[in-house]
Structure 1
Amino acid sequence: MSDVTFTAPDLTTFTGLDELGLEVTGQWLEPERAVLACRVVEPDEWCRRCGCQGIPRDTVTRRLAHEPFGWRPTTLLVTIRRYRCTGCGHVWRQDTTKAAAPRAKISRSGLRWALVGLVCQHLSMARIAEGLAVSWNTANDAVLAEGRQQLIDDPHRLDGVRVVGVDEHCWRHTRRGDKFVTVIIDLTPVRDGTGAARLLDMIDGRSKQAFKTWLADRDQAWRDAIEVVAMDGFSGFKTATTEELPDATTVMDPFHVVRLAGEALDQCRRRVQQRLHGRRGRKNDPLYRARRTLHTGADLLTDRQQTRLEALFAGDEHVEVEATWGIYQRMIAAYREPDRAKGRVLMQQLIDSISAGVPGALTEVISLGRTLKKRAEDVLAYFAWPGTSNGPTEALNGRLEHLRGLALGFRNLTHYIARALLETGGFRPRLHPGL
């Protein structure tokens, strides 16, 4: 710092108004706000109708919310000169489109600050409106319109997508209306190791027709480029993919496959609990105390957990739970096998073993076997496409849950979809290269 040459302060450059075609002529500072008086730099004195030179007539003032400094709301009072043509008599005012859109109440720098805050810093709309010193509706309408124009409606947003994930998402917890939407995720960066998953779109409803219609609306070249579609066990997504993307490979991701086995284990535990005690589990019941330990991988069990399971399976009254637990552990072992080829063999053996010849008492295993046999091709496809999983889709669902909590809930689905796309659409590098 000893060699730095300081120059005279330039408030116009400091506040970024030179980019807006404005120049600061005065300031008024208070602890709660700042007001900057500005003028338009370009004279704009030539008539737009006949081309004759105009003469100054009067001035008008335009008020714009600007990017806050130190979270102090900043307002621009822009003095705009009006001219009257000496030829045709037409009256016009100086062009301020560099500073703000026509009829806008927020400057372009203020909109950029708000959009970065919304997308990159995950600020609430209320906090953005407070920083700009405008109403919530003004901030919301302006920011969403800017985000849609600059980011969501980008024609190249869907370019390069080769791996797609599809899942349902509950966007509101009310009794009125449809609560679920279908979310479509780009998993290409995850499989290539180049970045995080991003939200491509969100569709009202969760059905085969909803996903099929969305795929049909894409151009043929885009559909031909899709190699893999990761999904849960919902057959509607499978059918829609088969009909619209016949060359793509469908993968039932490990998260949902293991969850099916985990649900079978829980159902078996509850059934045995009811049969032995005639009631739900209580904190001192062995089966209830071991409910979480049963879902822990065998290679991750602590000595205390191992002892608890040995005590649980010591007698014959819990033999059905022990058998179902064994199926669950075999599934986990297949997915955790470092050798993909060996893991596929283990999974194939597991599916074959529970698809036929299972004792009638193991009703949950029989139901699981029917499901896995029906979707065996999709389950085994995971081992041929390593890294293809709906896990990132579930992670994005978690971020959407955070968004809904941040906004204290949503009522308008269109508004929610726009906010969700900005929140999880992978727009960060384009908004600010340094972030």
Structure 2
Amino acid sequence: MAQEHALFTAALGLSAPWEVSDIRFDAEAKRIDFDVTFASSSRFACPACGAEGQPVHDTRERTWQHLHFFEHQAYIHAAVPRVHCQAFGKTKQVEVPWARPESGFSELFEALVITLCQQMPVRQVAAYLGIGDDPVWRILDHYVGAARAQEDFSGVRAVGIDETASRRGQNDITVFQELEERRLLFACEGRDQATVGRSAEDLREHGGEPASVEAACIDMSKAYIAGVQRHLPQAAITFDAFHVVQLANNAVDQVRRTEVRTEPELKRTRWVWLKDAWRHSLQQLTELHHLSRMRLKTARAWRLKNAQIQAAKARARGFRTTCNLITVCDLIGGKFTRLPASPYGTTCKSAAA
């Protein structure tokens, strides 16, 4: 049994004074529980001031969900010590090495959540891991927020400003992207000039300077134009192709209506140009291919999409709040380098390395 405990102590990544003291396996419930203890003579650093060698005052029972062991849910149980710091003068709970404070999950479990949410809808991740949506959103809020706080925007010189609806008929979200790096810088509710001011302030908070922004690509909204002129005073304004084409679509449709008099093949093709490509029938795809070879203006509008934000909406399916949608937009589009790595990532080096 001692060897088994030592094996799982190593498997959980524990080191002295922590060790696995008991293992309980329930095949019917598909669950395995690990009891973790520390040596009775152990002393710990004060979590508030860092003073070393503080004696244990008392303990509090805690439980954390860990990575699955094969198909079995795994849980870690421990009586976590509190120390009464002689230097600080207060009693504080010690931080355990396998989980962050106040979390009910191990750090490796949370790293898996982050990894899965980058590829799957949140609701699907929650169902796969056997937890509720809310814990997943809390994990995302913590790690995405922490990673974003460490981002450096000092090199930002060109930005794109766009808007999207959180849901059909619901509040708009304004998104700010760095054009050169193609990463999301900031997202917030609203689409007035104040949102540009909020993005400028966020830029400052991350080491950037609004006056250093040289170019802003926006739609033709008067609010965005005024916001850029006020908050990004050195930025030359250009209008992005998507919205120019969007405004031109009505004119193009009028052209189609006129052309149909001399080009009978354009009859009943309006929705061929307006529908998303993935919704086309085989007949419509054939028509689109044929009509595109006629070099009609309508073909240009169909090709332009805001794909990254749409991908974020798909990941955030069932997001309930706009803040949750913004969190997933950051996760997908922020290109953060300080998110937890996948617990199953390879550590092998390539032969070329």
Fold shared per TM-score above 0.5:
yes
- Cα 1:84–1:15 change in 2 (3 A) is closer
Is 1:186 the equivalent of 2:181?
Answer: no
- Aligned-pair distance for 1:266? 1.0
Map 1:139-288 onto structure 2 (within 5 A).
139-148=136-145, 150-154=146-150, 156-174=151-169, 178-189=170-181, 197-215=182-200, 218-219=203-204, 222-270=209-257, 286-288=265-267
Report the counterpart of residue 395 of structure 1 in structure 2.
307
In 2, are the aligned partners of 1:290 and 1:308 still within 8 Å (CA)? no
1:13 partnered with 2:10: yes
Q: Give the match's secondary structure for 1:117.
A: helix
1:240-389 to 2 correspondences below 5 Å: 240-270=227-257, 286-291=265-270, 305=290, 328=297
Question: 1:282: which partner in 2?
Answer: none
Q: Which moved more, 1:40-49 or 1:180-189?
A: 40-49
**CA distance in 1 between partners of 2:245 and 2:84 (Å):** 75
Q: Report whether the alignment pairs 1:34 with 2:32.
A: yes
The 1:102/1:288 distance shift into structure 2, 3 A limit, reads same
Structure 1 residue aligned with 2:103: 104
The structure number with the bigger radius of gyration is 1
Deviation at residue 111 of structure 1 after TM alignment? 2.3
In 2 relative to 1, CA 21–207 (structure 1 residues): closer, same or farther, beyond 3 Å? farther
Tell whether 2:320 aligns with 1:411.
yes
Deviation at 1:130, TM superposition (A): 5.3
Per-residue deviation, 1:172: 1.3
Task: Confirm or deny: 8 A CA contact 1:399 1:424 kept in the other structure.
Answer: no
Structure 1 residue 429, shift from structure 2 partner: 6.7
Report the Cα distance in structure 1 between the residues aligned to 2:95 and 2:327, rounded to whole angstroms.
Answer: 28
The Cα shift of 1:213 comes to 4.2
Verify the 8 A CA contact 2:6 2:19 in the aligned structure 1.
Answer: no
Letter in 1 for 2:155: G
CA distance in 2, matches of 1:292, 1:413: 31
Q: Does 1:74 align with 2:64?
A: no
2:36 is matched by which residue type in structure 1? C
**Is the alpha carbon distance of 1:253 and 1:34 closer, same or farther for their aligned partners in structure 2, counting shifts above 3 Å?**
same
**Residue 423 of structure 1 aligns to which amino acid in structure 2?**
I
**Kept in 1: contact 2:121–2:315 (CA 8 A):** no
Can you list the C-alpha shifts for 1:288-332, whole angstroms capped at 9, x where unaligned? Answer: 34447889xxxxx999837996xxxxxxxxxxxxxxx87x38x96
**Secondary structure of residue in 2 paired with 1:263:** helix
The CA deviation string for residues 212-238 of structure 1, in whole angstroms up to 9 with x for no partner, is: 443256439521332221122223222
Q: CA offset at residue 286 of structure 1? A: 4.3
**Partner residue of 1:23 out of 7, 15, 19:** 19
Task: Give the letter for the 1:140 counterpart.
Answer: W
Give the unaligned 5+ runs of structure 1: 1-7, 190-196, 277-284, 296-300, 310-324, 333-390
Return the offset for 1:64. Answer: 1.2
Between the aligned partners of 1:238 and 1:107, the Cα distance in structure 2 is: 47
- Name the SS of the counterpart of 2:267 in structure 1: helix
* Structure 2 equivalent of residue 122 of structure 1: 120
CA shift for structure 1 position 398: 1.7
Structure 1 residue 103 displacement after superposition? 3.9
2:311 maps to amino acid:
R
Change over 3 Å in CA distance of 1:293–1:411 after alignment to 2: closer
Q: Which residue of 1 aligns with 2:278?
A: none
Q: Distance in 2 between matches of 1:21 and 1:180?
A: 52
Residues in 1 aligned to 2:292 and 2:100: alpha-carbon distance in whole angstroms: 70
Once residues 25 and 36 of structure 2 are traced to their aligned partners in structure 1, the CA distance between those partners, rounded to angstroms, is 14
* Cα distance change, pair 10–247 in 1 and its aligned pair in 2 (3 A): same
Matched residues in 1 for 2:21 and 2:141: separation?
32
Q: Which amino acid aligns with 1:36?
A: F
- Higher share of residues assigned helix: 1
**Which whole-Å CA distance do the structure 2 matches of 1:136 and 1:222 have between them?**
37
User: Residue 168 of structure 2 aligns to which amino acid in structure 1?
Assistant: H
Alpha-carbon offset, residue 421 of structure 1:
1.5
2:351 corresponds in structure 1 to none
**Aligned-pair distance for 1:399?**
1.1
Q: Secondary structure at the match of 1:432?
A: coil
